[in-house]
Copies of this chain bind each other. A is one copy, B any other.
Amino acid sequence: MTLSRSWVESANSASADFPLNNLPCGVFAPGDDDPRCGVAIGDFIVDVRALEEAGLIHVADEPVFKVPFWNEFMELGPDVWNLFRERLTELLHEDAAERELVEPHLYPAGEAEFFMPFIVSGYTDFYAGRHHATNVGTMFRGAENALPPNWLHIPIGYNGRASSVVVSGTEVRRPHGQLKGPNDAAPRFAPCERFDFELEMGAVVGMPSEGMVSVAQADEMIFGYVLLNDWSARDIQAWEYQPLGPFQAKATATTISPWIVMRAALEPFRTPTPPREKELLPYLAEPGPMLYDIGLEIELEPEGRAATVISRTNYSEMYYSAAQQLCHHTTSGCPMDAGDLLGSGTISGAVKESRGSMLELSWGGKEPLTLDSGESRSFLQDGDTVRFRGHAQGDGYRIGFGPCEGKVLPARAL
Tell me the smallest distance from the CB of A30 to a CB of chain B, in Å.
Answer: 27
Give the residues in chain B near A189, CB-CB below 8 Å. Answer: 281-283, 331
Is A386 interfacial (CB-CB < 8 Å)?
no
Give the residues in chain B near A153, CB-CB below 8 Å. Answer: 178, 180, 186-187
Is A334 interfacial (CB-CB < 8 Å)?
yes
Contact at B333–A157, with CB atoms within 8 Å?
no
Contact of A158 among B187, B188, B244, B332 (CB under 8 A): B244
- Among A12-20, A234-242, A361-369, A376-384, the stretch in contact with B: A234-242
Contact of A332 among B150, B159, B187, B251 (CB under 8 A): B251
Interface of A is mostly: loop
Contact at A244–B412, with CB atoms within 8 Å?
no
Contact at B332–A175, with CB atoms within 8 Å?
yes
Contact of A336 among B154, B163, B176 (CB under 8 A): B163
Contact at B212–A412, with CB atoms within 8 Å?
yes
Tell me the smallest distance from the CB of A258 to a CB of chain B, in Å.
Answer: 19
Contact at A334–B164, with CB atoms within 8 Å?
yes
Give the residues in chain B near A334, CB-CB below 8 Å. Answer: 161, 163-164, 248, 251-252
Contact at B248–A163, with CB atoms within 8 Å?
no
Q: How far is the CA of A176 from the CA of B180 in the complex (A)?
A: 38
Is A405 interfacial (CB-CB < 8 Å)?
no
Give the residues in chain B near A243, CB-CB below 8 Å. Answer: 137, 140, 148, 156, 241, 245
Q: How far is the CA of A328 from the CA of B239 in the complex (A)?
A: 14
Tell me the smallest distance from the CB of A124 to a CB of chain B, in Å.
Answer: 8
Tell me the smallest distance from the CB of A99 to a CB of chain B, in Å.
Answer: 43
Is A110 interfacial (CB-CB < 8 Å)?
no
Tell me the smallest distance from the CB of A32 to a CB of chain B, in Å.
Answer: 24
Which chain B residue lies CB-closest to A153? B187
Contact at A332–B278, with CB atoms within 8 Å?
no
Q: How far is the CA of A233 from the CA of B334 in the complex (A)?
A: 13
Interface residues in chain A, defined as those with a beta carbon under 8 Å from any beta carbon in chain B: 121-122, 127, 137, 140, 148, 150, 153-154, 156-164, 173, 175-178, 180, 186-189, 211-212, 233, 236, 239-249, 251-253, 278, 281-283, 328-329, 331-337, 340, 412, 414
